[in-house]
């Protein structure tokens, strides 16, 4: 069976930084950089965690929060769409919004819809 997996996100796409946590939890939490911030520049999404005294636990939580971010979900959907369609979402919109693919209608004096050419709107400006 062929492997149809495609990588759309890798470590090089992410900026991971560490910081000291705050609040209760003792010296380890307040003086050791266990907090984790993961940012994805292309989508603008980020995941941040400092809930635990363990950097590994915080990294897992930050990763889950990054993937749950609506910006990341939208970005990933666009990437999957582009792979499946063979073109980006923007290219699809440009193609579908050409004049030959659109139907222009206006209401006439009697309140009925009638089809007009795209140049109808240019003449009115």
Span 13-42, pLDDT tens digits: 999 999 987 766 666 667 788 899 999 999
Domain 11-86, CATH: 3.30.160.20
Q: What percentage of the chain reaches a pLDDT higher than 70?
A: 86
The rounded distance, in Å, linking the Cα atoms of 5 and 89 is 20
For the cut 70, the answer to whether the pLDDT of residue 1 exceeds it is: no
DSSP H or E segment with residue 47: strand 45-49
Q: What percentage of the chain reaches a pLDDT higher than 90?
A: 38
**Structure tokens, 120:** 């109808």
Domain residue extents for the chain: 11-86, 94-124
For the cut 90, the answer to whether the pLDDT of residue 46 exceeds it is: yes
**Average pLDDT in the chain:** 85
Q: pTM for the complete prediction?
A: 0.66
């Amino acid at each position: 069976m062929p492997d149809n997996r495609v990588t759309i996100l890798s470590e090089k796409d992410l900026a991971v930084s560490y910081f000291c946590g705050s609040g209760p939890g003792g010296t380890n939490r307040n003086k050791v950089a266990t907090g984790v911030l993961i940012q994805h520049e292309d989508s603008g999404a980020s995941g941040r965690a400092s809930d635990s005294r363990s950097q590994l636990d915080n990294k897992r939580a930050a990763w889950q929060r990054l993937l749950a971010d609506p910006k990341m979900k939208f970005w990933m959907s666009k990437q999957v769409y582009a792979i499946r369609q063979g073109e980006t979402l923007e290219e699809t919109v440009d193609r579908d919004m050409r004049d030959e693919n659109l139907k222009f209608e206006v209401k006439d004096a009697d309140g009925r819809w009638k089809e007009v050419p795209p140049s109808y709107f240019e003449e009115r400006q």
